[in-house]
Structure formats: C-alpha cells, structure tokens
Structure 1
C-alpha cells in the first residue's frame, strides 16, 4: 500500500497590491454567502493581508452597507429558528462562533417571542414523537427533552412541551383489550 505524502502548507505571501486583493477577497466571500465582519477579517488574515489594510477595507465595506453584522444576525436567527427550530441559546452560540458581538447577539435573539419558541418546540416534538413509540415513558421523555436541549431550549419549556405531547399521545392511543 502506497503511503500518501502530506503536503506542507505553503507560505502565504502578501499580495503586491494588498488593498485590491482585500477588496477582491471580501467581494468573493460575500458573493458566496453573507458573512460577518469577523469572518471576513479571518479570511483576509489567512491570505496575509496586512491588518491595517484589512481594517481599512472592512471599514469601507461596513460604511457602504456590504457588511452589516446586525442584519446578518437577525437573518441568521430567523432562518435557523424557522428552518432548524433552534432556540436562543443555540442561536447565540452559533452567532458568537461567527464573531458577532454579544450585544448584537442579544438583540437578534430577543426578537423571538416565547409563543414562537413553544410552538417550534411542539413541532419538533411532534415530528420526533413517532420514532419513540413503544419506548417506556421515562425513556421517551428523556430522548425528547434531550433533543430539545440540543436545540437550545430551556429545561422548563422542554419538559412542559414533552409532558403535553405525551399526555396527548396517551389520549389518542386505544386502550388495551381485556385479556380473557
């Protein structure tokens, strides 16, 4: 069996015109998907763009509205909450990993109303409930609550929603026939 040679990482040299290169890198990144200022700064650093040039380009992009962490955070929260059912805790962690400031994160997740969160949790449990059929109630509860916890829901809301769903399921199931 032939061994693969590991390629050594190539040294990244600063470009001849760092400002033009920085603008091109940022535009390319923003064309692919919305990015935060921190994500773009990271991309520029990987390409050996000097820090002062990166700051200059990022400031200009922010000034003209191409970089807007507040809009990014709000769109991210809506998208991930509606698409994946994520709750504020999980959404906050994702935004912080993308370099969004704490205050911006707090404002973005504050837009989610408790009724929205409860409804999303109910939808997640309803979707997962059939897969837990046949398990004893304690195990079923643990699995469903754990799923909601991974999505960032508070323990109180998770237990409440799971209790309601299991109570509704028990009412829908036909009683066992009497043994002769």
Structure 2
C-alpha cells in the first residue's frame, strides 16, 4: 500500500481498488484507508488540487477534461468542484491561447483552413468549450505572420 503512495499520489478509490485486487477484505481495507486518511497519507482534496495543477501546466487541459479525469480516478463531485473552483473563464481562455500558440508554431506555412481545423481539434480534445475554441482559433490564425497583409 505504501509503495503505491511512494510511486505517485493516489485517490482513496484507487487505493481501495488496489487492495481489492490483492484480495484484501472490504472491512480491513476500509479501516486501513480510514487510518491513512486520519494521518494525512490519503487526501483526495490535495490529490485533486495537485492533479489539476499538473495537468493544466503539463498538458493544458480545460476544466471539463480535468473533471472527467478526476471522476475516472474516483474523486467525488464535491471535491472536483473545489479543485476546479480556482479556474475561471479568463484563466481558461488564457490557457487555451497558450496551447494554440504552441500548436501554431508547428503549423507555419499551412493553409489557414488547415490550421483552423487542426487547432480546433487540438483544443476540443483538451476539453475547451466550443465558444472558447472558436474565438481562440480565429484570433490565432488571424494573428499568424503568414496571414498578415503587408
């Protein structure tokens, strides 16, 4: 159990699933997890906040994709809302613009329609809402140096 926590932080449900895989009785697993929670080794709030920070910084994921990932890891909705509460529309748009700028660097010289399509797909896969995707793609493609009029 402790080896699982030393490799990477885990949610309570992930640890419970691991104990179940290893044949640990439910009542024993519950007591062990309760004790680990009491001493601070298992903290879903801290886990969710850490996951949100790292996935936003590393992969540029939007709130929707982050919520889906947290649900998949067994984090409850109330904890997810708390972890995502610090992300407002402006910061999400700014992150989408960063993702778009990075992607645009790899698409120089392509047709504007191709750039728009690829950029929209990349942002949509990261969970950005359509309104943000449309606005960011439009701005990024229009601002590209190869599309500027002399």
Q: Give the TM-score category using the shorter length.
A: over 0.9
What does residue 59 of structure 1 align with? 34
Asked if residue 139 in structure 1 is aligned to residue 119 in structure 2, the reply is no
What does residue 29 of structure 1 align with? 4
Query: Aligned match of 2:83 in 94, 104, 108?
Result: 108
By how many angstroms is 1:137 displaced?
Answer: 2.3
Counting only pairs closer than 5 Å after superposition, residues 78-117 of structure 1 correspond to structure 2 as: 78-117=53-92
Q: Provide Cα deviations, 1:45-89, integer angstroms capped at 9, x if missing partner.
A: 111001100001001111111100011001110111111110011
By how many angstroms is 1:36 displaced?
Answer: 0.5
**Distance across 2 between alignment mates of 1:132 and 1:172:** 12
- Which deviates further from its counterpart, 49-58 or 130-139? 130-139
* 2:109 and 2:146 in contact (8 A); partners too: no
Q: Which runs of 5+ in 1 are unaligned?
A: 1-25, 176-180
Whose radius of gyration is greater, 1 or 2?
1
Greater fraction of residues in helix: 2
Asked if residue 42 in structure 1 is aligned to residue 37 in structure 2, the reply is no
**Distance across 2 between alignment mates of 1:45 and 1:100:** 17
What secondary structure sits across from 2:127 in the alignment? coil
TM-score, with structure 2 as normaliser? 0.92
What does residue 127 of structure 1 align with? 102
**Distance across 2 between alignment mates of 1:44 and 1:110:** 31
Greater RCO structure (CA 8 Å; 6+ sep): 2
CA RMSD of aligned residues (A): 1.6
By how many angstroms is 1:113 displaced?
Answer: 2.2
Counting only pairs closer than 5 Å after superposition, residues 9-20 of structure 1 correspond to structure 2 as: none
**Distance across 2 between alignment mates of 1:77 and 1:171:** 35
What secondary structure sits across from 2:144 in the alignment? helix
By how many angstroms is 1:115 displaced?
Answer: 2.1
